[in-house]
Amino acid sequence: MAAQLSALTELVQQLQADNSRLREEATKMATPTTESAGPSSNVTCQSPTPNSPSQPRQPASMVNLAPHPPIPTGGVERYVYVPSERKCPRFSGKLSNDSLTAEDWVEEARRHLSSRPRSRSEQALIVFDLLEGEARAEIKFRPVAERDEPDKIFSILLSIYGCSQSYISLQKQFFQRRQLDGESLREFSHALLHLLEAVKRRDPACLANPEAVLRDQFVENVRDGMLKRELRRQVRLLPTLTFLDVRSEAIRWVEEGEHPSGPRPRAHSLSTHAIQDAGAASSAVLVQSPNELAEVKQSLRKQQAQLDSILRRLDTPSFFGPPPSRAPTRGPRYQFNAEGKPICLRCSQPGHIARFCLASSISPQVVAGSQSVTQQPEKN
């Protein structure tokens, strides 16, 4: 900022000096002195009048050397400053705020510094003034030896905010770039140029013939198939065609209406009928009225409504009728005593189940006798 103010001050002083010098020259020309006039300048050219017959006629070669007095002007003096430098955008290190990448901004700053000769310290101050935010703080806390050299400032910014992708990833992005849906040919070519520039910055000697690679990449990745075949044919006929020539031919081919490069409209199959011409035997195909499309839509809506009604009927449980009644199947209910032992359903004795019951193999007399024997001690 101080360098710019000093430059402005010097320019204003120079303009003031030029203005005063011009005023002095105008004053000297308006008031000639006798010392500056020679002996031949004493004669003034006067037109003869009839009242002065004694005055000799002067030769035509003698003229009045005295200039006309300056015309006074009542205007106000104004100083107009015309900037001789091109403006350079600022850089903050954030891609969301900056319109240029770090590489593009460094190139723009170098071009800005080369527009006018300055010392290295002045160039470093100008570069520092163009920084803001995080990038300015990064350079601010660097050593003085790095802050006073513009090349070192540029290298620091490139190492921190430059492209961090490898050469392989950049090359992959370049060769996988295709023309997007709705993207014009110019936009597609600019995207390829940007990717190729990033690859060349990472490795300048990566491609043997970058012009041919860029041209072939453009030809092979346009969306329109007919345009792609046409460009391939032209490249085969003229292998020396450059990328700009191929792009110009592709844009001309599209603008002339030979084939649209945008997304193709969906084709609708419409019934046609032939009308016999009175003067010729050829027939012309005419498309029916646009009301047919509305009729098709109406029929589709009706079919959809029918399908919805069928689905609703299928979802109702009464559609298939009541389910068949089944007799309840109840399994045997086992009984247990207080100790948790099962009670036999055949003999009602605890400790076993009916499957292992021995009551069927013992005669009823034995069972009755055993019961009477067990009851006698109880009576006693």
Residues 167-182 pLDDT 10s: 888 888 899 999 999 8
The better pLDDT of the pair 348, 281 is held by 348
Q: Whole-number mean pLDDT of the chain?
A: 74
Q: Is the pLDDT of residue 68 over 80?
A: no
The better pLDDT of the pair 378, 88 is held by 88
Q: Is the pLDDT of residue 11 over 60?
A: yes
The better pLDDT of the pair 129, 45 is held by 129
The better pLDDT of the pair 96, 244 is held by 244
Q: Is the pLDDT of residue 215 over 90?
A: yes
Q: How far apart are CA 290 and CA 302, in angstroms?
A: 20
pLDDT at 59: 45
pLDDT at 321: 59
- 352 band by pLDDT with thresholds 50, 70 and 90: confident
pTM of the model: 0.43
Q: Lowest mean pLDDT: which of 61-65, 123-127, 248-252, 374-378?
A: 61-65
Mean pLDDT in residue range 40-68:
45
pLDDT at 243: 93
Three-state secondary structure string covering the chain: CHHHHHHHHHHHHHHHHHHHHHHHHHHHHHCCCCCCCCHHHHCCCCCCCCCCCCCCCCCCCCCCCCCCCCCCCCCCCCCCCCCCCCCCCCECCCCCCCCCCHHHHHHHHHHHHCCCCCCHHHHHHHHHHCECCHHHHHHHCCCHHHHCCHHHHHHHHHHHHCCCCCHHHHHHHHHCCCCCCCCCHHHHHHHHHHHHHHHHHHCCCCCCCHHHHHHHHHHHCCCCHHHHHHHHHHHHHCCCCCHHHHHHHHHHHHHCCCCCCCCCCCCCCCCEEEEECCCCCCEEEEECCCHHHHHHHHHHHHHHHHHHHHHHHHHCHHHCCCCCCCCCCCCCCCEECCCCCEECCCCCCECCCHHHCCCCCCCHHHHHHHHHHHHHHHHC
Residues 6+ apart with CB under 8 A from 59: none
Mean pLDDT in residue range 258-271:
46
Q: What is the pLDDT of residues 355-376, one digit of tens each?
A: 888 876 555 554 455 455 445 5
Q: How far apart are CA 202 and CA 167, in angstroms?
A: 6
Token reading at 197: 């520039």
pLDDT at 282: 41
Q: Which of 69-78, 125-134, 335-344 has the highest mean pLDDT?
A: 125-134
pLDDT at 274: 38
Q: How far apart are CA 135 and CA 348, in angstroms?
A: 98
Q: How far apart are CA 343 and CA 239, in angstroms?
A: 105
Q: Which of 9-18, 35-44, 48-57, 273-282 has the highest mean pLDDT?
A: 9-18
pLDDT at 380: 44
pLDDT at 47: 45
Q: What is the pLDDT of residues 29-44, one digit of tens each?
A: 766 544 444 444 444 4
pLDDT at 281: 41
